[in-house]
Amino acid sequence: KNEVEQSPQNLTAQEGEFITINCSYSVGISALHWLQQHPGGGIVSLFMLSSGKKKHGRLIATINIQEKHSSLHITASHPRDSAVYICAVRSISTDKLIFGTGTRLQVFP
């Protein structure tokens, strides 16, 4: 079992829909990151969370430390949101980043 699991693996949506991507992890962490990988391959950091909730534009990220779970929400989704969304955690014990395998999101007009 991977230490970082994302669900779903693939997600399709119609423009305007509310999107939720989930990340569960099994190790103690100091922080959790959400990343966006564009179709060309480049990766952009979206959020770093250690507790609570963060919002940036139409993106909202939440984390529940007790349940070892984080969600990334996209409100009013748009085709330009189509990308792979990657969850990564920094392990307290090894101090290294562990990456999930990503969720591929396609938003259709």
Partner 1 sequence: SQTIHQWPATLVQPVGSPLSLECTVEGTSNPNLYWYRQAAGRGLQLLFYSVGIGQISSEVPQNLSASRPQDRQFILSSKKLLLSDSGFYLCAFRVKGLGRNSPLHFGNGTRLTVT
Question: To the nearest whole angstrom, how small is the minimum distance from the Cβ of residue 1 to partner 1?
Answer: 13
By C-beta, is 45 or 64 nearer to partner 1?
45
Count of beta carbons in the 10 Å neighbourhood of residue 105: 21
Residue (80 or 96) nearer to partner 1, CB = 96
Beta-sheet pairing, 103-108 with 10-14:
parallel
Instruction: Tell which residue, 37, 87, 99, 98, has the closest CA to residue 63.
Output: 87
The contact set with partner 1 (CB under 8 A) reads: 2, 4, 30-31, 33, 40-45, 48, 50, 86, 88, 90, 95-102
